Amino acid sequence: MSIKVLIADDHQIMREGLRAMLEKEHDIQVLGEAEDGRMIQRLAQELRPDVIIMDVAMPDLNGIEATRQIVAELPGVKIIALSMHDDRRFVLNMLKAGAAGYMLKDCAFKELSKAIRVVMSHKTYLSHEVADIVLKDFLYSVSPRESSVFQLLSPREREVLQLIAEGKTSALIADSLHISIKTVETHRQQIMIKLKIRSVAELTKYAIREGLTSA
């Protein structure tokens, strides 16, 4: 029985390369591709894959939030993060969101099929560099005073923050999230209060630093 896989990455050439590589495996079937977090969330609901290959930095809804939502809705789905970022916060936040694996893009082609089979056996797969980050975090735990965006903001506030950082207007954000413009403005105000930030430029810098967007 084939392992059903979805691929989420905002770069078409990356998606095509991953698909071509995975389709050479006799026991892996690629069901489809998505270019952003909202699209992969919809495809996961429709196609019910076994594994999702998830880019971390994607427009509209980043891979961390998409992972959190998909795991909550479809707990049986295994998600492998695939990223160019080896920053500690990206790795740890993705794993805390429910990812079963984390790999760097420069080693994906030779390791990805192996990683898929590992997570399907209910184990975690970390590429060598990522495993080192996780081990160091365990050995030298961070100060409890260090707070991330995932502790400070609600899931909806994080979605609004990402879209603000990507330059979307309040009207576009309202349309994307199916809420009123007034609600968007309320979220924006609350975000600024919680983060103690007073400008959109500073919000954008913060969102990029925290891995919500690469805008």
| For residues 69-82, average pLDDT | 96
Q: What are the φ and ψ backbone dihedral angles of 160, each rounded to 5 degrees?
A: -65, -45
Neighbouring-strand partners of residue 80: 53, 101
CATH number at residue 70: 3.40.50.2300
- Count structural domains, the chain: 2
Residues 6+ apart with CB under 8 A from 32: 6, 7, 43, 47
CB 6 within 8 A of CB 28: no
Domain around 82: 3-139
- Residue 121 belongs to a domain: yes
- What does pLDDT average to over the chain? 90
Give the model's pLDDT for residue 106.
81
What's the farthest any 2 CA atoms get from each other in the chain? 54
> pLDDT tier at 92 (50, 70, 90 boundaries)?
confident
Examine residue 170 and state whether it is found in any structural domain, yes or no: yes
Name the pLDDT band for 88 (thresholds 50, 70, 90).
Answer: confident
Q: Are 102 and 204 members of one domain?
A: no
pLDDT of residue 89: 82
191-199 mean pLDDT: 92
Which DSSP string corresponds to 94-126?
HHHHT-SEEEEGGGHHHHHHHHHHHHHTT--EE
CATH number at residue 181: 1.10.10.10
